[in-house]
Amino acid sequence: MKRQEKNYGAGMTNGEWEWPALSFIRIRAIIKKCGGHAQRRVFLRIKANRIAYFGLLTAMAIVLGYIERLIPIVDGSIPGVKLGLSNVVILFALYVMDNRSAFLLMLLKVFLLALMFTGLFSTNMMVSFGGGLLSYIVMALFKRIHGITVLSVSVLGAVSHNIGQTLTASMILGTYQLLYTYLPAILITAVVTGVLTGLVAQRVIEALDRTGVVKDIKKPDKSTAERAK
């Protein structure tokens, strides 16, 4: 006669306690599933916030770029000198969001300002793009160095921006005389404006960090992003 097994409870057969292990596996799966949903919600919320703030930063960069054109120093004795107000926005995106967002913001700023004021693919647009590109590369590289401050990165970005503008203008005009006559004068101004914009950017980042805004738009790490998928 075949021996009949008795069921003593959930998962308990012949007196062997199997249910604790099975229960633990189920509970762990449930917790992991719930945790994944929670992480996905957080990831999507941060992603939505980043899109919204990126649009806001783009608008701010355009407005500040327009204000720069109204300040007399732009049309002063040294043409091309700017206060670099819109660089505050680029610095903020570089430190709070990521390099890709800062680069895209720089492109949009150059493109939209040229579209509104100087015309697409004009000489002014190309000169502005040359300065913005070199400035972005330098700031993105030096930002990775441990211990370097926002102020230092801002000064390096301002200096490299003027160097990039002068190099681009020299290539367009077919003469490099500007590097000896024009560049030294605007580099002095670049240091001053770089310090000013760096101080503003640093204060803005610190203030928004205390309010929790930085946390809302900070790019999530790779592990969180992968678990949220």
Task: Dig out the tokens for 139 from the structure.
Answer: 């700031």
Any domain includes 7:
no
Q: How many residues does the chain have?
A: 229
The verdict on residue 74 lying in a domain is yes
User: At residue 174, what are phi and psi to the nearest 5 degrees?
Assistant: 80, 20
Specify the pLDDT at position 9.
45
Say if CB 128 and CB 172 are below 8 A apart: no
**What local confidence, expressed as pLDDT, does residue 40 receive?**
64
The CATH number given to whatever domain includes residue 130 is 1.10.1760.20
Helix (H) / strand (E) element for 86: namely none
Q: What is the pLDDT of residue 186?
A: 85
pLDDT at residue 220, rounded to an integer: 57
Tokens of 101: 């967002």
Q: Identify the residue whose tokens are 């999507």.
A: 44
CB neighbourhood size of 61 (10 A): 25
Instruction: Tell me whether residue 98 is in a domain.
Output: yes
Low-confidence ranges of the chain (pLDDT < 70): 1-46, 72-83, 216, 218-229
41-64 confidence digits (pLDDT tens): 656 666 777 788 889 899 999 998
b/e burial code for range 170-193 (CB count within 10 A of at least 16 → b): beeeeeeebeeebbeebeebbeeb
Cα(121)–Cα(115) distance, integer angstroms = 9
* Residue 12 domain flag: no
Residues 123 and 36: their CA atoms lie apart, in Å, by 51
Q: Which domain holds residue 142?
A: 31-228
- Within-domain flag for 120: yes
Q: Is residue 1 part of a domain?
A: no
Q: Has residue 21 been placed in a domain?
A: no
pLDDT in tens, 2-23: 444 444 444 444 444 444 444 4
Our count of domains for the chain comes to 1
- Provide φ and ψ at 39, rounded to 5°: -65, -35
Residue 26 resides in a domain: no
Query: What pLDDT score does 68 carry?
Result: 81
Express as a percent the part of the chain with pLDDT over 70.
69
